[in-house]
């Protein structure tokens, strides 16, 4: 096959989630066939994003400014905070248009297997918001996994002292047994509507 530069491109593409060596070769070929219209615009977009995108210090979302567009949107309900595992889950909820409040991205779940403990979760900004006051409900929108459930239980205990209702989505709604971001919009909407207040 064709040269070290091409091999390097394929190797880098193959590391992306959802792409194995075979799809990486197909993607590389598609890019190489149209260098001006496909490859250079992609390379420029990636370089630009790498330079400008940062993590929102309020909610953990990714955006070109900090605080992010959701945190600074005056039309959003700041009293309604939805806790999600990843930015991908936040994007899924935004795509579905089912949450009009703000978010807290934990950046993971409690997991003995991967050694993720409470201190590894991005929770401090939420605790600060709760201490400030004005939060009327915390919605836990965590995946229907063992780790998601364990994290939700731990959060319910951790947030119990704030005198703010904590609810969980997806109770009684089939959640697909995994991450939020693979669900279709209708299922997401149903899961959010069917949330139950725990405390
Ligand atoms: Zn934000």
Q: Domain of 29?
A: 4-52
Cβ within 8 Å of residue 197, ≥6 positions away = 137, 165, 166, 167
Distance (angstroms) between ligand 1 centre and the Cα of 73 equals 10
Burial of 175 (0-12, 13-18, 19+ CB in 10 A): buried
Expressed in angstroms and rounded, the spacing between residue 22 Cα and the centre of ligand 1 is 37
Do 40 and 95 have their domain in common? no
Indicate which CATH number applies to the domain containing 129: 3.40.1360.10
**102 alpha carbon to ligand 1 midpoint, in Å?**
8
What span, in angstroms and rounded, lies between the C-alpha atoms of 12 and 137?
43
| End-to-end C-alpha distance for the chain, whole angstroms | 61
pTM to 2 decimal places: 0.84
C-alpha 69 to ligand 1 mean position (Å): 7
Q: Same domain, yes or no, for 22 and 85?
A: no
**Distance of alpha carbon 94 from alpha carbon 75, whole angstroms:** 14
C-alpha of residue 186 to centroid of ligand 1, in Å:
25
| 152: CB partners within 8 A, 6+ apart | 140, 142, 168
- How many domains does the chain divide into? 2
What is the tens place of the pLDDT at every residue in 147-199? 888 999 999 999 999 989 999 886 555 555 567 777 777 777 877 877 777 65
Same domain, 27 and 88: no
Tens digit of pLDDT for each residue in 40-70? 999 999 999 999 999 999 999 999 999 999 9
Same domain, 35 and 76: no
């Amino acid at each position: 096959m064709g040269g070290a530069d091409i091999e390097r491109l394929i190797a880098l593409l193959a590391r992306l989630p959802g792409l194995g060596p075979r799809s990486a070769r197909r993607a590389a070929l598609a890019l190489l066939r149209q260098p001006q219209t496909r490859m250079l615009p992609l390379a420029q977009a990636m370089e630009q994003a790498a330079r400008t995108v940062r993590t929102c210090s309020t909610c953990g979302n990714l955006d070109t400014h900090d605080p992010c567009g959701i945190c600074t949107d005056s039309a959003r309900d700041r009293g309604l905070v939805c806790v999600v595992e990843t930015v991908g889950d936040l994007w899924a909820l935004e795509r579905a248009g089912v949450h009009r409040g703000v978010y807290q991205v934990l950046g993971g779940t409690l997991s003995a297997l991967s050694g993720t403990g409470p201190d590894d979760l991005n929770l401090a900004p939420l605790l600060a918001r709760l201490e400030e006051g004005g939060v009327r409900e915390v919605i836990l929108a965590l995946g229907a996994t063992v780790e998601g459930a364990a994290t939700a239980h731990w959060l319910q205990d951790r947030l119990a002292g704030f005198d703010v209702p904590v609810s969980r989505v997806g109770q009684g709604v089939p959640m697909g047994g995994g991450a939020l971001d693979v669900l279709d919009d209708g299922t997401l909407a149903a899961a959010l509507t069917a949330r139950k207040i725990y405390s």
